[in-house]
Amino acid sequence: MIQSLAISDVKLITPKRFGDARGFFSETWNSKLLRDEGIDLEFVQDNHSYSAARGVLRGLHFQNLPHAQDKLVRCTRGRVYDVAVDIRRGSPTFGQYVGAELSAENWAQILVPKGFAHGFVTLEDHCELQYKVTDYYAPECDMSIRWNDPAIGIDWMIDPSVVTLSEKDASAPLLSEVECGFVYKSAHAGSGQG
């Protein structure tokens, strides 16, 4: 099942899961099926993130041009609140965010396209995220935006006093201070993703 979130370029994808007394089986990515739904991406790298405690917040992260990444994120252990922020200049939803709970139980995935910053916070201990990306890690293009930027106003669904951050994320700049190359293209002009 594929549904658009409030910012329609961000998709929530819930693969079918077939279970019995032994456990379950699921196709978590099928390029042909998703291409038939208009999602035509070539993933080149898989990443796996583990967070030991509730309240670990990672983000808001993105790779700038020319190494921008689409991300397909899923939670395979525990429960997180996952967020995408529109950072495409000229977009009608610039600086706005959408979020969804991802968990091992609900089996949902979030597709975060190029031109969006991504972050998540763990809602319980021992969370693992796995995500696919469409370009390789490029440290020179690795950028961050402050997780609690008041202009974005993200409700992280958790008490901010319990949040644990990396030093890099704690000192990230505000969106207004970030120079990135993403420009919104309307559906009439192209993909709208970069």
Q: What length is written for the chain?
A: 194
Closest by CA position to 115, among listed 46, 193, 54, 27: 193
State yes or no: is 67 an active-site residue: no
Which residues does 55 contact at the CB level (< 8 Å), separation at least 6? 121, 122, 158, 159, 162, 163, 164
Q: What are phi and psi of 160, to 5 degrees?
A: -60, -25
Q: Is 180 helix (H, G, I), strand (E, B) or coil?
A: coil
State yes or no: is 61 an active-site residue: yes
Q: Which of 61, 81, 97, 184 is catalytic?
A: 61
Q: Which amino acid is at 79?
A: R
**How buried is residue 56: exposed, middle or buried, by Cβ count under 10 Å (0-12/13-18/19+)?**
buried
Residues 193 and 114: beta-carbon distance below 8 Å: yes
Q: Which of 81, 97, 118, 131 is catalytic?
A: 131
- Active-site residue numbers? 61, 131
